[in-house]
Structure 1
Amino acid sequence: MFAGSPTKNPVSALFCLILALLLAGCAGSQSSDSGPVYTVKRGDTLYRIARSTGTSVRDLARLNNISAPYTIEVGQKLKVNGATAKKSSSKSSGKTAAVTPSYVVPKSSWPPVGQRCWVWPASGKVVMPYSTSEGGNKGIDIAGTRGAPVYASDAGKVVYVGNQLRGYGNLIMIKHGEDYITAYAHNDSMLVNNGQNVKAGQKIATMGSTGSNTVALHFQIRYRATAIDPVRYLPAQGSKPKC
C-alpha cells in the first residue's frame, strides 16, 4: 500500500517506506521532454499519486518499472498517463482544472468503527488532535510524564523500531493484519524488537521527548496507508473497548 521504486539499499528503502507512512504532503506534476512527469513530494504514496493524476496504480507501476513493496523517494520523477496529466494541468475558462489534494482524507472511505478493538496507547490529555488540513497533524499527541508506559493499541507484529525519521524520535510501528499500521513516536525507551508479536495493551515503550521539545506520545492509525482519526476509533478514555 505504500508507494515507491525498488532500491538495493534496505535502509534507504525502509526510510522511504516510513516517510510514506507518516508524513502527509502536497502533490505536483510537470511535463518533460519524455512526456508528463510527476515529482514525488514528501508524504506521497503510489495510491495518492494515482488519485491525484488519474493514472491507475497498475499503470504507474508499469510505466516506472516499480515492483512491490512500492517504495518511492522524495524528488523522484514518475511517468504518468499523458492524457490525464495534460487534463489535470490544462486550463478551462481561465482556471486550472481542480485536482483533489493528496492530504484530503474523505471520511466516507474510512473503515467502520468497531472493526478492530483499539485500546489507548497511553494515559494523558490529547494536546494536539488529528487534522485533515494541509500540513495538519495526521495522528494525535498525548501529553504525559517521562517514563510513563506506552502500550500497543492492538495485537500485531512490530515492523519497525528505530529513529531514522527526523522529527519522530524513537519510533515504533506495528502492523495489524493487512490493512492497519499504528505508529508510536517520541518514545524514551523502546521495549520491543522488530519482528516481535505483541498483544493489545502490551507495554512496548516509555514516553519521552525524542525528536520533540515536549514529553508526549505521537500516535497514528493508518488504514491502507491513509491516516485516520484515532479518537474516532478509540474507546472513551479510561474505558475498555466494547467490541
Structure 2
Amino acid sequence: MFAGSLTRNPIIALSLLTLTLLLAGCSGSKSSDMGGYSGAVYTVKRGDTLYRISRTTGTSVKDLARLNNLSPPYTIEVGQKLKVNGGSSTAKNSASSKTKTAKVTPSYAVPQSSWPPVGQRCWLWPASGKVVMPYSTSEGGNKGIDISAARGTPVYASGAGKVVYVGDQLRGYGNLIMIKHGEDYITAYAHNDTMLVNNGQNVKAGQKIATMGSTGTDSVKLHFQIRYRATAIDPQRYLPAQGSKPKC
C-alpha cells in the first residue's frame, strides 16, 4: 500500500499499517452518516471508513471484517454492500470471541494508565483554530482532535522529526502527513489542502508543513493525532494551552 523506501523499513511500515487500522475517521455531518443503512445491509458511501460504519450500525470493526471477508487494510468501495449486525448479536459475538481477541491484541497497544507523563516531550499546537471535536476513548471514537479554521490556515509540525508519509492513500483522511519523532512517537495531520514537505524530510518544531483544507472530509479542518508506540493518546493532554508556549 505504501510505496518507496517506507515499505522497506519494517518499523515505519508497522506504524503506517497501525495508522491504517486505528486512525479514527474524521466525522462529517451526522445525518449523512446514516445514509445507506437498511438494518442488515449497509451500502458504502463516499468518505466512509470501517470505523464510521461501525459507529453507525453498532457492528464492531472486527465483526464487519469477519462478516464481509475483509482483510487489512480493510479497503471498501463506494456502493459496496456490507453485511452488518447489531445490539445483542454483536455483544454475543464479541463475548464468544473474547479469548481469540486477547490472543491477537497487538503487543504495542498501550493502555491509558501507561500513557507517557505530561512534559516528557514538548509539543506545539499544529494550527490555530477551534477544537470542534475532541479525543474520545470510546471504541471507534475520534482518536485525535479536529481543529476548524479558514481554508489556507498554516499547519505546523508539532515537534521536530522526520516525515515518514505524505500522500492521500488512506481513505477518509485526504492529504495526510505523518512525522516520526524518535522511536516512540508519530504525529498525523489530515485533510490538508497544500502539502509543503516530502517523504524523508527532517522538520523542525513549528515548521510550516501544510495548509488547512477539506480533502477527504466535508468541512475545512485539521485532524491531528499524537501516537505513542502506535497507540493514539489525547493531544490536548499534552499540548499547552492554546496561544501559549510549552513549559517543558
Same fold (TM over 0.5): yes
Aligned-partner SS, 2:141: coil
1:232 correspondence with 2:237:
yes
1:149 pairs, out of 151, 154, 162, with 154
1:125 pairs, out of 118, 126, 130, with 130
Q: Contact between 1:28 and 1:41, CA under 8 Å: does it hold in 2?
A: no
- C-alpha change, 1:215 and 1:97, in structure 2 (3 Å) is closer
Structure with greater proportional helix content: 2
1:107 pairs, out of 112, 116, 120, with 112
- Higher Rg: 1
Where in structure 1 are there 5+ consecutive unaligned residues? 1-6, 30-36, 43-71, 76-90
Note the 1:90-239 alignment, pairs <5 A.
96=96, 98=98, 106-239=111-244
Q: Contact between 2:151 and 2:211, CA under 8 Å: does it hold in 1?
A: yes
Structure with greater proportional strand content: 1
Matches of 1:202 and 1:113 in 2, distance apart? 22
Matches of 1:163 and 1:117 in 2, distance apart? 28
Q: Contact between 2:110 and 2:229, CA under 8 Å: does it hold in 1?
A: no
TM-score, normalised to structure 2, is 0.63
Paired amino acid for 1:209? S
Aligned-partner SS, 2:205: coil
Q: Contact between 2:24 and 2:141, CA under 8 Å: does it hold in 1?
A: no
Aligned-partner SS, 2:237: helix
State the Cα distance separating 1:16 from its structure 2 match: 3.9
Q: Contact between 1:40 and 1:73, CA under 8 Å: does it hold in 2?
A: no
Number of aligned residues: 181
Q: Contact between 1:27 and 1:41, CA under 8 Å: does it hold in 2?
A: no
Structure 1 partner of 2:28: none
Where in structure 2 are there 5+ consecutive unaligned residues? 8-12, 26-50, 52-59, 76-91
Q: Compute the RMSD of aligned alpha carbons.
A: 3.4
TM-score, normalised to structure 1, is 0.65
Identity of aligned residues (%): 72
Note the 1:8-157 alignment, pairs <5 A.
10=3, 16=17, 18-20=19-21, 22-23=23-24, 28=62, 73-74=73-74, 96=96, 98=98, 106-157=111-162
